[in-house]
């Protein structure tokens, strides 16, 4: 999630272990949280860095079902997703 409150809101999930990230993406998609494709944004910079985004149409569902225990991220989800 962006640090700046005026920045475009996004939910990005990142991980070094592609298999773990594929499982997380599957767990999110089962209850209907739509996600973008799993990809490596820069193979040259870090070949083991993987990420995907939660699609904007699923931000509210992510906030409601998953949420966050991180204080700043919890607040961002509540404000941006009206949760």
Contact 38, 50 (CB under 8 A): yes
Rounded Cα gap, residues 54 and 16, in angstroms: 18
In a domain, 3, yes or no: no
Decide if 42 is inside a domain: yes
Q: Is residue 2 part of a domain?
A: no
The verdict on residue 6 lying in a domain is no
What is the reported pTM?
Answer: 0.85
At residue 32, the pLDDT reads 96
Q: What is the per-residue pLDDT across 52-77, written as a single tens digit (0 to 9) for each?
A: 999 999 999 999 999 999 998 888 88
CATH code (residue 36): 3.10.28.10
Q: How many domains does the chain have?
A: 1
pLDDT tens per residue, range 25-47: 999 999 999 999 999 999 889 99
The range of the structural domain enclosing residue 38 comes to 11-80
Residue 1 pLDDT = 85
What lies within 8 Å, CB to CB, of 22 at 6+ separation is 38
Q: Which residues contact 25 (CB under 8 A, 6 or more apart)?
A: 13, 35, 38, 52
First-to-last C-alpha distance (Å) of the chain? 16
């Amino acid at each position: 999630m962006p640090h700046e409150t005026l920045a475009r809101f996004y939910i990005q999930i990142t991980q070094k272990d592609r298999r773990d990230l594929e499982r997380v993406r599957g767990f999110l998609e089962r209850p209907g949280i739509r996600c973008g494709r799993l990809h490596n944004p820069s193979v040259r910079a870090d070949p083991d860095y993987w990420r995907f985004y939660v699609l904007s149409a699923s931000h509210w569902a992510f906030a409601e079902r998953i949420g966050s225990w991180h204080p700043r991220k919890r607040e961002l989800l509540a404000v941006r997703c009206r949760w």
